[in-house]
Amino acid sequence: MIDLKDAATFLRLCETSNLTRTATLCNVSPSTLSRTLNKLERDLNAKLCIRDKKGIFITQAGRKFEEFARKTLNEFATLENELDSGEGSVDGIVKIYCSVTASYLFIPRLLNELHLTAPNLEVKLETGDPADALHKLEEDDIDFVISALPSEVPSNIQSVDLVTFPLILIAPKKPRFSTGTDNNTSLDLSEVPFVMPEKGQLRYEVEKFLQSQEISPHIYSEISGHEAIVSLTALGFGVSVVPRLVYEISPFKNEVTVIKELPWSNFRVALCNLKDKSKKKTIKVVHDLAKRLAPSFSPDLTRRRTDVNI
């Protein structure tokens, strides 16, 4: 007889393709997870996955069981909803605001886990300029934002750190301006046009870097949206500073050159909500889930960079 909890564990393994991260998500040790997988394979009399030094490979039989497990858990959640008196269940709607990049990197994992832990909870997503994220919490219909954190987090905000990463200085491979050198790594930043973020934490960090270098930049344009900064730089209009993760998933990354990482730049990205909403069941379940997921994001992003040879 297949345990539904074991089936949910296998779905998490299919999503992460990593034994250690799956164990973290399930709050068990890797050895306990291995025993669960072995039990599933004995019960089904089939090899569900192959484990080696490169990671986890889901077999054809494993994919068939994944489809069965997902369908069964969905049907069980529907049954629970029909039979539940309402006590202990978490249903309703939460709305999350984040950048397009954040929606690629964090939302899929959050949604997958929420579907397993709170299947009756509906999540709505709004994307936009990350510089506006923290201010969006002032809107009644926004419950969470994924945002870069300032050095001093406002006292009314509760946050869960997801990842920390550096900022990088990038230049176009085919500039439309005179560089005065054949080597982009030796650019005079006071002489070349600069594509600046219009506002927000990134603007603050860029200005701090320029001031530390005693540089008065020639600003070509001020842009809202981190992704658009990479695009404009790739088109050759200026140099810029962007979060490394934004650069790494940009379709224009091969059109720019990374000059260097900014010193002392730790761009902290977190899931944030207002403290005065933190006791609501829908808010608490997402917040607690994010705390459980947080350790898995950084190694997962490292794996992605390795996979695409970044």
Over residues 13-26, the pLDDT tens digits come to 887 788 887 887 77
- Asked if CATH classification 3.40.190.10 holds for the domain at 167-261, the reply, yes or no, is yes
What lies within 8 Å, CB to CB, of 49 at 6+ separation is 13, 37, 56, 57, 58, 59, 62
Residue 308: band (very low, low, confident or very high) from pLDDT cuts 50, 70, 90: very low
To the nearest 10 degrees (0 to 180), the angle between helices 30-44 and 19-26 is 100
State residue 247's pLDDT score: 92
Average pLDDT over residues 71-85: 70
Note the pLDDT tens digit of each residue in 161-208: 998 888 999 999 999 888 766 666 678 888 899 999 999 899 999 999
Q: Is the pLDDT of residue 96 over 90?
A: yes
Domain range 4-83, CATH architecture: Orthogonal Bundle (1.10)
Q: What percent of the chain has pLDDT over 90?
A: 36
- CATH assignment, 92-164+268-307: 3.40.190.10
| pTM value > 0.85 | no
Higher pLDDT, 215 or 298: 215
pLDDT average, residue stretch 60-65: 91
Question: Residue 307: is its pLDDT beyond 60?
Answer: no
Domains 92-164+268-307 and 167-261 alike in fold:
yes
pLDDT of residue 237: 93
**Residue-level pLDDT at 113:** 83
Domain ranges of the chain: 4-83, 92-164+268-307, 167-261
Evaluate if residue 305 carries a pLDDT over 70. Answer: no
| Per-residue pLDDT tens digits for 34-53 | 889 998 999 899 999 887 77
Q: Sorting pLDDT into bands at 50, 70 and 90, what band is 299? A: low
